[in-house]
A and B are shown apart, each in its own frame.
Chain A
Amino acid sequence: MSNNTITNDDHHHITSYAEHFGTWVSLILLTFMTVFISVFGADLNTLTVATALFIASVKALIVAYYFMHLKYDPKLYRVMILVVMALFTVFLIMLTIDYLTR
C-alpha cells in the first residue's frame, strides 16, 4: 500500500502513559531520597557524596532508558553511549594521573 522505501522499524513500540507516569514517580522518589539523605544525614560526609552521585546516576539511567526510549531502541544507541562514557573515563583517568603526579 505504501511505496515508502524507508520503513521505520524502530517506531513500533509505543510507551504507554502509565509507564511514563511510573517513571516519573520513581524519579521523584529518588529525588526526595537524595535530598533527605543530604539534609538529614549530614554527619556521614564522604558517604553522602558517594550516595548522592549513585542516586543521580540511577536517575540518569532511568531518564535515558525510559524517557529517552533507549530501552526499546536498537542496541547501537546504547553501544554509542558506552563509547562516550569510555571516552569520558579516559579523560578523567588522564587528568587524575596528571594531578596526582604533580
Chain B
Amino acid sequence: MEHTFVLPNSGHNYDAKASKMGMWLFLYTELLLFGGLFIVYMVYRSMNPDAFLQASLNLNVWMGTINTVVLLTSSMTVAMSITAIQLGNSKLSLQLLLLTILASIIFLIIKYFEWGAKIEHGLWPGMEHFLSLSNGEQLYFYLYFFMTGLHGLHVIVGAIFIIVVMNKIKNKKINKDRYQLLENSGLYWHLVDLIWIYLFPLFYLIH
C-alpha cells in the first residue's frame, strides 16, 4: 500500500495576503531608513539655517518640479496597470508599465543633468569649490548627494522590479487571478514617489 502525503493547498503555494504583508513590512523599514536621514537633515538645518538656504539656491526649482510631476505621473500609470490586470487586460497593463519605465528613465536623465551641473561647479564633496564652502553648506551638499543618490538608487531598483514583473505578465505568470507581484512592485514604486514628495520641498523649496 502506498501512502502519499498531499499538502492541503498543493499546487497553490500562492498566498497574496502574506506576500503583500511581507512587502509592507519591508516598506516600513524603508520609511525608517529615510526617516533617519530626514532627522539628520532636520538637526543640521536647524544648526545652519542660513547656510542651507544659501546652498539650496544652487538647485534648479523647475527641474525639481518637472521630476515631481514625472514621478507622480508614473505612480498613476503603475496604479492603473493594476486596475488593468484586475479587469483582465494584460496588454493595457503592460503598456502602462512601459510608460512607468519611460518616466523612470526621464527622471534619471534629469537627475543626471542636475548632478552633472553641480559637479561641473565643483560642488561634489572633496572638490575645490566644495572645500571653500562654509561648514553648513558642505553639510547641505553631503545630504543632498546622499539622499537624492539613495533615492535615485531606489528608482533604478524599482524600474528593474517593474521590468521583471513585465516579463512575468508576458509569460502569463502574472494574470487576472494572480497579480500580487505586480501590486508589490507598485507599492515599491509608490514608496519611491512618497520619499521624493518630502525630498523635493526640503532640498529645492527652501526660501
Contacts and interface: CB of A to CB of B under 8 A. Distances in A.
Interface of A: 4-6, 8, 10-11, 14-17, 20-21, 23-24, 27-28, 31-32, 34-35, 38-39, 42, 45, 48-49, 52-53, 55-56, 59-60, 63-64, 66-69, 77, 80-81, 84, 87-88, 91-92, 95, 99
Interface of B: 8-9, 12, 14-17, 20, 24, 28, 31-32, 35-36, 39, 42-43, 61, 65, 68-69, 72-73, 75-76, 79-80, 82-83, 86-87, 183, 186-187, 190, 193-194, 197-198, 200-202, 204-207
Chain A residues touching B, majority SS? helix
A14 to B, nearest CB: 5
A16 to B, nearest CB: 7
B83 A56 contact: no
A23 B17 CA distance: 25
B190 A63 contact: yes
9 contacts: A17-B83, A27-B72, A32-B65, A52-B202, A63-B75, A77-B24, A84-B31, A84-B32, A95-B39
Contacts of B17: 6, 8, 10
Given A11-B16, A42-B207, A63-B193, A35 B83 contact: no
Given A5-B9, A10-B17, A38-B207, 20 more contacts: A4-B9, A5-B12, A15-B83, A17-B80, A20-B79, A31-B65, A31-B72, A35-B205, A38-B205, A38-B206, A48-B205, A52-B205, A59-B197, A67-B75, A67-B193, A80-B28, A84-B31, A87-B32, A88-B35, A99-B43
